[in-house]
């Protein structure tokens, strides 16, 4: 027997053992998963989606539609115009943004959007865009706090995120239950990182590699585990160096191909936009009607951008800045790129290439027994629908899309490894050895995820990720006055000219000192 065959046999035995564990896990945790993803009585509306959207709407109003007011300045910050290299922190605004984006731009943009429009119809796209726009305010709130209450260590590294702004922010404002809520958030974050942020992604990547290149999943698992460990062991600086190259490459490449397809069907763009508006406000034959389209759009946006979940604040907290609110401005670009741009692009390509079949006599969409819209390719899987849409224009697109799925999955694993390590450090105590121990275990689960689905474990982990939102948004309501104070003070100084683009001649002068103040602590 060859080494390859021996390795395959060993993996098969391990898979059988893990399947038994998965069955027990489903029995033990099913109640928790059912609770998190349960719907309001008599409706199809998941309460966790309503919780995320309601929070986003509150923050949008409370901060005066900051998504629009600060959009231009956010782009200027990302470009580095206001960056002072002497500010404390580990990464630039651009690197922090790409690191956080690497955790959200991924399978949800390719597969999740296809599932949403195949159930909710084109109208789901409108509600997805609206939810993404509102979510920009949630990101702004949580990432401002992530920097405001971060801890700066003597070696130059930074620890931040919801567990820190909940414990430190609540103590500062005299609010109760700060420490237990922070610990609960950190626990959910660790669980979410291992499953949804790791095992599911590894499983999808290994499946795509096997499908495209024929490589056994256990070989892919070993390679993935080694690559991920090589990146995350270096901390946020190492992760940011990778994501700053990979995320723009993947996102721009995807958008360029999508725009090319839209250009090839330019005469149908107005029709597609009309279908989106028609589906959002009138009956088009989809399951649940207008409400069904709304639910699918809101759900996709909430699950894709993770606005309000709090995870992104962990990455954004490492930015080099004196001004906490500047990273809040930068972070609001994240849902815009992830949901408003990339998710919308996917939806438009699916609609314009005719993947969703209409009844020519009634003008309503044809649905199957499961309530999904019948597709031109006959497929129901999310990746398959998107692949068929891209492949209808370019023969090479399905292969390229498979490679994109792999890269998206790997980048997601890398960033969630950082999130999980920081949450674990909060629970177990700061220290390089403790953090290294978590990273080793995390990479072991990369391999496990590649060779077996462990659906119950991943379902529980996904539930833990959205349980983070329950804790996080509760905390944001208590701390949003802090964010508004930071925002108003900064915008006043920006408007008066006290804050100007950074130049070397300002360094050490009174004007340079007026540009900001120290954040965090040791």
Residue-wise pLDDT for 3-60, tens only, equals 555 555 666 666 677 677 677 777 877 888 888 888 888 877 889 889 999 999 999 9
Give the whole-angstrom CA distance, residue 430 versus residue 390: 47
- CB of 93 closer than 8 Å to CB of 326: yes
Q: Which residue do the tokens 């969409």 mark?
A: 365
Give the three-class secondary structure for 303: helix
Q: What per-residue confidence (pLDDT) applies to 12?
A: 66
* Cα–Cα dist 183/178, whole Å: 9
Q: Which residues of the chain have pLDDT under 70?
A: 1-15, 18, 21, 285, 287-288, 453-454, 504-522
Structural domains in the chain, CATH included, are 25-497 (1.20.1740)
307: its two tokens:
């606005």
Q: Are 347 and 122 in contact (CB under 8 A)?
A: yes
Quote the DSSP letter at residue 512.
Answer: H
pLDDT attached to residue 514: 40
358 three-class SS: strand
For residues 221 and 209, the answer to whether their CB atoms sit within 8 Å is no
Give the separation between CA 130 and CA 300, rounded to whole angstroms: 11
Distance CA 470, CA 314 (A): 17
Express each pLDDT in 233-258 by its tens digit: 888 888 888 888 888 888 888 889 99
Nearest to 336 by CA among 307, 313, 309: 307
Q: CA triplet 502, 503, 506: central angle to 5 degrees?
A: 95
- Decide: residue 212, CB within 10 A, 0-12 exposed, 13-18 middle, 19+ buried: middle
Backbone dihedral region for residue 454 (phi beyond 0: left; psi -120 to 50: alpha; all else: beta): left
Q: What Cα–Cα distance (Å) separates residue 59 from each residue in 34, 335, 390, 397?
A: 28, 14, 37, 40
Length of the chain: 522
Rounded Cα gap, residues 98 and 464, in angstroms: 24
CA separation for the pair 459, 337 (Å, rounded) = 27
How far, in Å, CA of 463 to CA of 458, rounded?
8
- Tokens (6 digits) for 40: 């309001």
Q: What is the pTM of this model?
A: 0.89
The pLDDT tens digits for 50-100 are 999 999 999 999 999 999 999 999 999 999 998 888 888 899 999 999 988
For the chain, the straight-line distance linking the first and the last C-alpha, in angstroms and rounded, comes to 58
């Amino acid at each position: 027997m060859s080494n390859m065959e021996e390795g395959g046999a060993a993996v098969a035995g391990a898979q059988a053992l893990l399947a038994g564990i998965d069955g027990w896990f489903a029995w033990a945790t099913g109640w928790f998963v059912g609770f998190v993803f349960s719907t309001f009585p008599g409706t199809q509306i998941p309460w966790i989606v309503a919780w995320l959207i309601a929070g986003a709407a509150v923050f949008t109003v409370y901060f005066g539609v900051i998504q629009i007011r600060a959009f231009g300045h956010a782009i200027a910050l990302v470009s580095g115009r206001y960056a002072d290299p002497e500010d404390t922190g580990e990464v630039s605004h651009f690197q922090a943004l790409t690191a956080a984006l690497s955790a959200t731009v991924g399978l949800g943009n390719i597969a999740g959007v296809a599932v949403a429009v195949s159930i909710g119809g084109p109208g789901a796209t409108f509600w997805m865009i609206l939810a993404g726009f509102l979510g920009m305010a949630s990101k702004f709130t949580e990432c401002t706090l992530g920097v405001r209450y971060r801890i700066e260590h003597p070696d130059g590294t930074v620890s931040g995120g919801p567990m820190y702004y909940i414990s430190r922010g609540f103590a500062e404002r005299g609010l109760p239950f700060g420490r237990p809520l922070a610990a609960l958030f950190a626990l959910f974050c660790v669980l979410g990182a291992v499953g949804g942020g790791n095992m599911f992604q590894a499983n999808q990547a290994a499946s795509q590699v096997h499908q495209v290149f024929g490589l056994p999943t256990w070989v892919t698992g070993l390679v993935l585990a080694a690559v991920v460990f090589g990146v995350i062991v270096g901390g946020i600086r190492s992760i940011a160096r990778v994501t700053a190259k990979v995320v723009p490459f993947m996102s721009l490449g995807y958008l360029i191909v999508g725009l090319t397809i839209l250009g090839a069907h330019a005469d149908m763009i107005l029709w597609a936009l009309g279908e989106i508006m028609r589906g959002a406000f009138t009956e088009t034959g989809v399951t649940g009607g207008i409400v069904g389209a709304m639910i699918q759009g809101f759900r996709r946006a909430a699950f894709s951008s993770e606005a309000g979940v709090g995870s992104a604040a962990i990455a954004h907290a490492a930015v080099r800045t004196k001004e906490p609110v500047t990273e809040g401005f930068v972070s609001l670009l994240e849902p815009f790129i992830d949901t408003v741009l990339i998710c919308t692009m996917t939806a438009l390509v699916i609609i314009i290439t005719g993947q969703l079949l209409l009844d020519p006599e009634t003008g309503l969409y044809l649905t199957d027994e499961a309530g999904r819209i019948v597709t031109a390719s006959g497929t129901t899987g999310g990746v398959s629908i998107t692949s068929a849409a891209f492949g209808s224009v370019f023969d090479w697109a399905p292969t390229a899309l498979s490679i994109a799925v792999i890269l998206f999955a790997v980048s997601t694993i890398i960033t969630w490894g950082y999130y999980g390590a920081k949450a674990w450090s909060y629970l177990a105590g700061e220290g390089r050895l403790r953090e290294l121990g978590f990273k080793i275990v995390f990479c072991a689960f990369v391999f496990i995820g590649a060779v077996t689905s462990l659906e119950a474990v991943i379902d529980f982990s996904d539930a833990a990720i959205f349980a983070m939102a329950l804790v996080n948004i509760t905390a944001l309501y208590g701390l949003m006055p802090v964010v508004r104070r930071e925002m108003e003070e900064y915008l006043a100084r920006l408007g008066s000219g006290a804050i100007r683009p950074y130049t070397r001649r300002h360094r050490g002068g009174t004007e340079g000192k007026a540009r900001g103040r120290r954040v965090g602590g040791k």
